Amino acid sequence: MYVEQNILSGPIPSSIGQLSNLASLHLSSNRLNGSIPLKIGKLQNLVDMYVDQNILSGPIPSSIGQLTNLTHLWLSSNRLNGFLPPKTGKLKNLVTMDLGVNSLQGLIPAKIGDLTQLDYLDLRHNLLPGKIPSSIGQLMNLFHLDMFTNLINGTIPLELGQLSRLAYLNLSWNQLLGQQEIAPRKK
């Protein structure tokens, strides 16, 4: 289903859960509001979900963890709030996840380290507190990690140093602390 960049408004109908063979859901850049329906979890064949750049609010439903075939999840630039459901750790095929520019709160779940196929993770411009879970160091395919402008505190986990494919890292505008060690220059 491709209905991007229109002027669709109103909520996503809960009857969307009846589209059991749906593989792609592209609703980006509309004026959709309300919350993401709980029945979204019934879309067992869904591979791509792009519902970014709308005015959706409320929490991300935990039923999203039932979308085990999902490879791309883009919910950025909405008004989503609440916690990042730990059940997102069940999305073992997920390659990209963009939840940036929302009002998500609560700790980043350690289960995020179970998303071993993930290569793109964007959580920027939210209200996420607490520490960066060391389990992110298990995301060996990760090349893009953005947590810019949150309430993240503590130190940067050493496990991030294991991410050999990481090409983009933005942890600016948080409350990180610790001592920066700089290797001495060789003469």
Domain spans in the chain, listed from the N-terminal domain onward: 9-176
pLDDT digits (tens, 9 = 90+) for 12-40: 999 999 999 999 999 999 999 999 999 99
Element (H, E) at 129: strand 129-130
* Cβ atoms of residues 112 and 133 within 8 Å: yes
Q: What is the CATH number of domain 9-176?
A: 3.80.10.10
What is the pLDDT at residue 25?
Answer: 98
Q: What's the whole-number mean pLDDT along residues 114-139?
A: 97
* Cβ atoms of residues 78 and 58 within 8 Å: no
Give alpha helix (H) positions in the chain: none
What is the pLDDT at residue 178?
Answer: 85
Question: What pTM was computed for the model?
Answer: 0.93
Q: What's the whole-number mean pLDDT along residues 124-152?
A: 98
User: Rg (Cα) of the chain, in Å, rounded?
Assistant: 17
Indicate the residue type of 16: I
DSSP state of 27: -
pLDDT digits (tens, 9 = 90+) for 55-104: 999 999 999 999 999 999 999 999 999 999 999 999 999 999 999 999 99
Mean pLDDT of the chain: 95
Provide the strand spans (E) within 51-183.
55-58, 72-74, 79-82, 96-98, 103-104, 120-122, 129-130, 144-146, 151-154, 168-170, 175-176
